[in-house]
Structure 1
């Protein structure tokens, strides 16, 4: 085999990596590019990539790191959104506490009125 020719395994690994990059996997996969995912897609073991094809392992690691950075950048700054939601929730809780106190006060007043009416009713009978 000349240096120009690729082993069938290396070719399978490169094709598997390309399929993962383009989201056209044959196997079940969560979309992340990793050595395990490429190995599974190519039908080889992780060790085969690590031991026999370190240059492919390095490409996979570089793609994995780049993909992770892209995902991190794509995530909006949720701290501001969460802070606003927390403030709204706290306001709602405060309002609900006020409503509860008001309802308890009304219930207490109605209980007293009921007691007075029962007492009048007993006196009348």
Structure 2
């Protein structure tokens, strides 16, 4: 590979990595930083990065680990929110079940009263 072509490819890889870091990708891909994403963004193969630009591959791996740690740290907050919402939903379900039992009881009582009130009328006919 000629020196000019290699420096052009390096420049494309650097720019692709920067775009991925800042979420301004030109290609339509996921926003995770990976060697495949950098290669796709720069228009080269994964092997090119692995074989010819190991320093860039190492930077990508380091950024990937850093991003993974950030996502992992954000998870407990998300899990806490989801657990709170689940508890609230369970409380609402319990309340609705209680309301349903009360409504069924009232409905049964009214049905019996209605039958009692209609029975003398039926006997008169």
Instruction: Tell me if TM exceeds 0.5.
Output: yes
Deviates more, 1:7-16 or 1:37-46: 7-16
* 1:72 CA displacement: 2.8
Structure 2 length-normalised TM: 0.81
RMSD over aligned CA atoms reads 2.3
Are residue 97 (structure 1) and residue 83 (structure 2) matched? no
Hey, what's the Cα distance between the residues in 2 that align with 1:102 and 1:42? 66
Are residue 54 (structure 1) and residue 54 (structure 2) matched? yes
Task: Count how many residue pairs are aligned between Structure 1 and Structure 2.
Answer: 123
Question: Could you give the per-residue CA deviations for residues 8-57 of structure 1, whole angstroms, max 9, x where no partner exists?
Answer: 22222122112222222211132221111110111111111112211111
Structure 1 length-normalised TM: 0.81
Write 1 or 2 for the structure with the bigger share of helix. Answer: 2
- Say which SS state the counterpart of residue 63 (structure 1) adopts: helix
Flag structure 1 segments of 5+ consecutive residues without an equivalent.
Answer: none
Hey, what's the Cα distance between the residues in 2 that align with 1:36 and 1:27? 12
The answer for the alignment partner of 2:63 in structure 1 is 63
* 1:59 CA displacement: 0.9
